Structures are given as C-alpha cells and as structure tokens.
Amino acid sequence: MPILKSVNSLRTILKKENPSSVIIVSSKAVIEKLNWAIKEMGLSRFNIIEIPDGEAAKEWPEAEKIIKKFTDYNLDRNGLVIALGGGTVGDVVGFVASIYLRGVKYVQIPTTLLAQVDSAHGGKTAVDFLGYKNQVGTFYLPIATIIDSRFMKSLPEEQIINGLGEIIKSGLIKDSSILSLLKNETVSGLSESKKLESIIEKTIKAKQYYVNKDYKDIGVRQILNFGHTLGHSIELKYGVGHGRAVIMGMLQELKIAEKLKLTPPSVRDCLETTLESLGIKIDDQMKAEYESILHDKKVDGGQIFLPVISKVGKSRLVKLNIHKIKTIMPTLVS
C-alpha cells in the first residue's frame, strides 16, 4: 500500500484506477476548511457525503447512513471512496468500504496529526457499538494513503496533542530517536517545525514494523495498544481527545508495570519529562471504568496481554489476570 505525500498525487491514482464514480466522505467543517485540497485532487465529477465530526461519526447509525448514500449514488465495485478527515472519518469509511458490496476501493487522506501517524495505517476499521469503542470492525487496507503535511498548519493545539500521544507512544515502545527529535519542540510550534516530517515518518515506520509482523492483531501488534487499555476507557468516560487519553493511559499503565516490577521508574520519568518539555499538562485525577476495561479486545478468558516497556525503545507483552489491574492499583480505576 503506497504512502503518498500530496493530495495532487490522487490524480495519478485516478488515472490508474479510472473509477466509475468517486465519493468523498468527510465532515462539513473539514470540507469548508480544506476546499483547496479537494480542488487539487483533479476530480471532474464526484459526490460528497457529510458525516459528523469526532467520535459521533463512528456510531452505528452513521455507518448505515453512509451505506444508504452509497446506494443512492449507485456506487459499484469499480467506484472509489475517499476518506477525507481525521481518524474517526477514516475508521468509519474504511469499515463501510469493507462491507459494502463485499468491498470497494478507498483512499485514506488523513487531515489530523493523529490520523497521519496512526489510524490511517494498518488496515483497522471500526465503529463504536453499545457504548464500547471499536466494538465492530474489520481489517481492510486502502489502495493508498496520502500524507499531506500542509494539513497540519490549520490544526488547533489540542489536535496536535492528540497526535503527540501516539508519537510519544511509538518512541517509548520502539524507536527512542522519536523522543530525541521531540526535544526542544513545543505543542504550539510543532506544526511549523522542520523536524515534523521526520517525526511523522519514523512514527509510521514504527507502526508498520508491528503491522507487518502481525496484521490481524493477535500477537505482537498488540504492543501498539500501550496506553490504550486504560486510555480508551478514559476517552469514552470523560470525552477527552484520543491522544490525551492515551497519554493518561500510558502514565497509569506504567505505574501498574512498576508495581509488578516489570518496568523501571526511569521510563515514566522519561515520559513525564517529554510532556513537560512539550508543554502538555495532564489531569491525573481521571480514572478508567473497570467495566469498560473488561471489554478491551485484548482480554481473553479473564487474561489480558498488557504491553510493558523494559526500557525506552524496547517493549514486550505480558499476560496478566485482568483483575490484577484493579487490585494492584485501585486508585486508577472505578
């Protein structure tokens, strides 16, 4: 699956695929803000389907609405769908593309830092269901992913923090040079940094390392979920951004691993120093919901494979009784 660097490159894809029709799925806010990008795509004819911003886009009824619109627009197996937006847009569009007519081609054009470094890669698609995050989904790769750095210049700081959550995670689990690149950077200045492109590329490479080893996420790829077991629960409970929730999840999961003598305190020190340097302040009073943790996809028969950091840049999976999370650190869950 190619990773391209400009929305202009969609012209090459269109020439190669010669789709019978093109549908862009995005939110109203993104379409208004990035109208220039749509113009650069070189589309002669296309339809637009508008969906909500944020996690609301991933509710089951929204997926149904997209499917109905696909049918209304007579999308066939030779058509092309474009997911233009953040991670939630990519997740729901990828899911619907994978099940409509048993699979239609789609292109990921992530417009947020979080989506560019994480959710647009690896083939995971999903919608939330019955209050649980990513409860229904598939593995389905786009025919291409376009990473255009120009999108970063219009992002608010909270969106930058969301991306940084996954970037920092990649530095902790796999590539410590990512954390070195973040030194002397700040949230407010990152979108203009000359190092941003390298940071994005290294983060994508770290994710692809695990995806290539374990595409269906049944083994080593679960290391990418570091910080997510508690983080996803915090995200849904308090409505905070994904990256910020993952940061809180990482801090809390490190405390659990320290208690189990699996991770040295130096790792959490490194994370806290990085956050302070970047200017990211975290509310450490937010707790995960234990019931939500029990529905984590890594839980199997009361056991969970918890990613732990041996040292910065080196990680592994440890099998743990799920109930230990609450008994070891009762202050972290409710």
Parts of the chain belonging to CATH 3.40.50.1970: 3-152
Q: Give the pairing of strands 22-26 and 47-50.
A: parallel
pLDDT tens readout for residues 314-327:
999 999 888 777 78
Q: Which residue has the higher pLDDT, 310 or 321?
A: 310
- Alpha-carbon span 170 to 217, nearest angstrom: 17
On whether the CB atoms of residues 8 and 40 are closer than 8 A, the answer is yes
Nearest to 69 by CA among 56, 81, 59: 81
pLDDT tens readout for residues 63-102:
999 999 999 999 999 999 999 999 999 999 999 999 999 9
Residue owning tokens 């609450």: 326
Separation of CA 302 from chain center = 26
Parts of the chain belonging to CATH 1.20.1090.10: 156-332
DSSP class of residue 308? Answer: E
Q: What pLDDT does 334 receive?
A: 60
Please state, in angstroms and as integers, the Cα–Cα distance from residue 35 to each residue in 39, 120, 121, 150, 151, following that order.
6, 21, 24, 13, 12
- The reported pTM is 0.92
Q: Does residue 300 carry a pLDDT above 80?
A: no
For the domain bounded by 3-152, which CATH number is listed?
3.40.50.1970
Q: Give the pairing of strands 132-139 and 124-129.
A: antiparallel
Q: Does residue 170 carry a pLDDT above 90?
A: yes
- For the 156-332 domain, the top CATH level (class) is mainly alpha
- Give me the mean pLDDT over the 272-299 stretch: 86
Q: What pLDDT does 308 receive?
A: 95
The percentage of the chain sitting over the pLDDT mark of 90, rounded to a whole number, equals 80
- Alpha-carbon span 301 to 284, nearest angstrom: 30
Amino acid identity for residue 173 in this structure: I
Q: Residue 66 is encoded by which pair of tokens?
A: 């997209």
Based on the number of CB atoms within 10 Å of its own CB, is 214 exposed (0-12), middle (13-18) or buried (19 or more)? middle
Please state, in angstroms and as integers, the Cα–Cα distance from residue 26 to each residue in 65, 111, 327, following that order.
13, 10, 43
